[in-house]
Structure 1
Amino acid sequence: MKSFEDLEKHFGSLNPELVRSLTAIAEARGREEVFRHQTPSGLDVLREIAIIQSAEASNAIENIRAPRERIEALVTDKTTPQNRSEQEIAGYRYVLDQIHANGPDMPFEAPVVLQLHGYLSRFTGDSTSGRWKGLDNVVEEQHPDGTVVERFRPVSAQETPAAMDGLHAGFARAKGEDRHSHLLLTAAYILDFLVIHPFRDGNGRMARLLGLWLLYNGGCEVGRYISLEKLIEESKETYYEALAKSTVGWHEATHDLRPWTEYFLGIVLAAYAEFENRTTVVNGRGSKRALIVSFIRSSLSDEFAVSQVRDAAPGVSAAYISKVLGELKDAGAIAPLGRGRGARWRRLRRDIS
């Protein structure tokens, strides 16, 4: 759409920051491919963790929340959704599964985007899912003092079908010309999608899912092992600031893609850094135990709670965490501080294995 009308204006001359990011990501992709081929068994736990964190974080950005235990059960298909929040989370996990399994084989076209949005709401029974919005929407932000301001003005409902067709045509044309990095085109697509805001509900979550799909199609696989959505949630204020800066003047095609693109590439680069950090810990057999031990060993504080361990090792059962903590206690590495669910632990030494 608007960003693809003049890509040369946005990406014809890259600033040093963008060049450094693109170079660093290319180098990290090479190291990722080596690890995936040399030690594939070490990635199973990372995949499991990423799916849980992605379903949790992307929904949390939209204030859709559920207890961690319920999210883990929903993601692993061990339960059925019991309320609206759980239905939303289960829908996100379903779309994520489709992208992980079928992404390379699905044509990146507007009708498929509609289909995936229908899947996003498959547990809620929302009759508007899988359809472009029928009414104009406004993207607003409520400040702490209660005042509400317009964040940006989306494309009208009447113009949305043509805008989405134009966005996909522009993306396909740019891919065919092969003048600009796939990562840059992905950043441009996400921004345009968010400004079009084509659905009544679920636009933010769809944007993050579509961004992940595009990264996979461009050979950037890190999102399978590290949750990009969690990294975005952890930098949510910067995320919204970058979008706000890059959406100014979008309708007139005078906007500046640089702030959003720098943020987006920063998230991808942070994911690769986290991937390399975790792959030094998770490697083959005993990888779940390694995650627990690594958290305790590297924690800045000598005291920690079991909830912190669960956050560092999502998908690892409470029983297994208790088992490992018991083994470390018997080895004289940690000591309990109290009893019960809220009990804390103290690290007695760092040379834990």
Structure 2
Amino acid sequence: MQSFVDPERTFGGQPPRLGVHLARLDVGRGREELYRDQLPELLRALAQETRVASITASSAIEDVTVDPARVEKLAGPGVDRRFRDRNEKEFAGYRDAIDEIMGAESPEPLTVPCILHLHRRLFRFTGGGGRLKTDDNLIVGFEHGYREVLFAPPPPERTEFLLRELVDRYRAATVAQAAHPVVLIGAFVLDFLAIHPVANGNGRLARLLTTHLLLQQGYGVARYVSVEQRMWETKNAYYAALYASQRGWHEGAHTLWPWVEYFVTTLGEAYDDFERRLSARRGLVGLSKQARVREYVLHHAPPVFRMRDIRNALPGVSDPTIRLVLAELRREGRIAVGDETGGRGPRTAWTRLEASDPPAS
């Protein structure tokens, strides 16, 4: 909320270099709209790949991890499984929440009930979701064996008021175009995490709301590239930028820019990755199905991959065709079995040994 009390102070003095990065996002958004019309099948394939990476990474940022061998089962859309532990339940909850956001024809308007609904989805298998916090939740760290309070969110009795104020002021700032839409989203996320309105899952809920608000403003890159994966890979920078911008927040004396620069740069890199991935997939168009599998495995698949990676990347190619090409590449010494399955079964991990053939043009 504090970022929106005095918009002129908060959003004035934007670093000049940030304008360049924001323009890059707007170019990416325009190209994304073009691709949605021209290459819908390729975008659907990218979205399938990105979905699991986003669920896994956003959960991992909060130390919610599951056995890699279980990820494929747990990520099955809308399917309830027998869970082995609480982490699996929370993983499945994030799955359902992000699927609801991505599957909506148009994003629901931002309201406090909308926020609590997403939190309820997030914890649907564990209970405790959909409610504001009732106890203080200090943000602490440990260094040299000592506990350090990094940030003290507002107390529970002020939480509902502050959250409603944040939602109302964000929506008013959006209508008034008080700053670039992505800057306003970054400010909302910063304030949301400062308020820390729920007992558990604030980080994951903030990332769900980030995707929700970006989609509202037409920035759909999170559908096709895992922004959460990028945040996981730069976890230290993520928290450093967040805490730098939260200093002085209670007094309204904080500076937005460390966090917003991190946020905008991360989105810009995601759009760059989107272009690279799409360009690589366009090279598969026009090839036979067997040639597409071969091209994907040798030049575009992760160094260690499974059947599901190929299925997601090449919708419409049958499993027998995929197995045929994998067998050929194994005989040629281009790939090897990377686990104990001996190459049998859909969960076999394959390792690419070399890729000296030139990519298809």
User: What TM bracket, shorter-length normalisation?
Assistant: 0.7 to 0.9
Other structure's SS at 1:252 match: coil
How many residue pairs end up in the alignment? 339
Q: Deviation of residue 175 (structure 1)? A: 1.2
Q: Classify 1:3/1:326 alpha carbon distance in 2 versus 1 (closer, same or farther; 3 Å).
A: same
Q: Deviation of residue 6 (structure 1)? A: 1.6
Given that 1:49 and 1:314 are in contact with CA atoms closer than 8 Å, whether structure 2 keeps it comes out as no
Q: 2:114 corresponds to which residue? A: 112
Q: Classify 1:343/1:2 alpha carbon distance in 2 versus 1 (closer, same or farther; 3 Å).
A: closer
CA distance in 2, matches of 1:6, 1:171: 12
2:33 maps to a residue whose letter is: E
Given that 1:3 and 1:192 are in contact with CA atoms closer than 8 Å, whether structure 2 keeps it comes out as yes
Q: How does 1:212-231 map onto structure 2 within 5 Å?
A: 212-231=211-230
Q: 1:208 corresponds to which residue? A: 207
Task: Say whether residues 1:65 and 2:61 are aligned partners.
Answer: no
Q: Classify 1:49/1:200 alpha carbon distance in 2 versus 1 (closer, same or farther; 3 Å).
A: same
**CA deviation map 1:156-187 (0-9, x unaligned):** 11100000011011101101212311101000
**CA deviation map 1:8-66 (0-9, x unaligned):** 22322321221011111111111121111111111122111111011100000111111
Q: 1:23 corresponds to which residue? A: 23
Q: Deviation of residue 3 (structure 1)? A: 0.4
TM-score by length of 1: 0.87
Other structure's SS at 2:253 match: coil
Q: 1:85 corresponds to which residue? A: 87
Q: 1:276 corresponds to which residue? A: 275
**CA deviation map 1:74-107 (0-9, x unaligned):** 2224561412111101100111111112273412
CA distance in 2, matches of 1:37, 1:28: 15
* Equivalent of 1:294 in 284, 291, 299: 299
Q: Classify 1:248/1:348 alpha carbon distance in 2 versus 1 (closer, same or farther; 3 Å).
A: closer
CA distance in 1, matches of 2:43, 2:294: 14
Q: Which moved more, 1:75-84 or 1:15-24?
A: 75-84
Q: Classify 1:11/1:333 alpha carbon distance in 2 versus 1 (closer, same or farther; 3 Å).
A: farther
Q: How does 1:1-353 map onto structure 2 within 5 Å?
A: 1-77=1-77, 80-82=81-83, 83-102=85-104, 104-126=106-128, 129-143=129-143, 145-283=144-282, 290-295=295-300, 308-310=304-306, 313=309, 324-330=325-331, 332=332, 334=334, 336=336, 340=340, 345-347=352-354, 349-351=356-358
Report the RMSD for the aligned CA atoms in angstroms. 2.7
Other structure's SS at 1:142 match: strand
CA distance in 1, matches of 2:130, 2:356: 54
Q: Classify 1:116/1:259 alpha carbon distance in 2 versus 1 (closer, same or farther; 3 Å).
A: same
CA distance in 2, matches of 1:186, 1:103: 21
Other structure's SS at 1:158 match: helix
Q: Classify 1:257/1:312 alpha carbon distance in 2 versus 1 (closer, same or farther; 3 Å).
A: farther
Q: Deviation of residue 275 (structure 1)? A: 0.5
Q: Which moved more, 1:202-211 or 1:333-342?
A: 333-342
CA distance in 2, matches of 1:188, 1:8: 13
TM-score by length of 2: 0.86
Given that 2:4 and 2:10 are in contact with CA atoms closer than 8 Å, whether structure 1 keeps it comes out as no
CA distance in 1, matches of 2:279, 2:297: 13
Q: Classify 1:325/1:159 alpha carbon distance in 2 versus 1 (closer, same or farther; 3 Å).
A: same
CA distance in 1, matches of 2:154, 2:103: 32
Q: Classify 1:95/1:345 alpha carbon distance in 2 versus 1 (closer, same or farther; 3 Å).
A: closer
CA distance in 1, matches of 2:257, 2:125: 37
CA distance in 1, matches of 2:206, 2:193: 7
CA distance in 2, matches of 1:116, 1:239: 23
Identity of aligned residues (%): 34
Other structure's SS at 1:201 match: coil
Q: Classify 1:76/1:338 alpha carbon distance in 2 versus 1 (closer, same or farther; 3 Å).
A: closer
Q: Classify 1:290/1:149 alpha carbon distance in 2 versus 1 (closer, same or farther; 3 Å).
A: farther
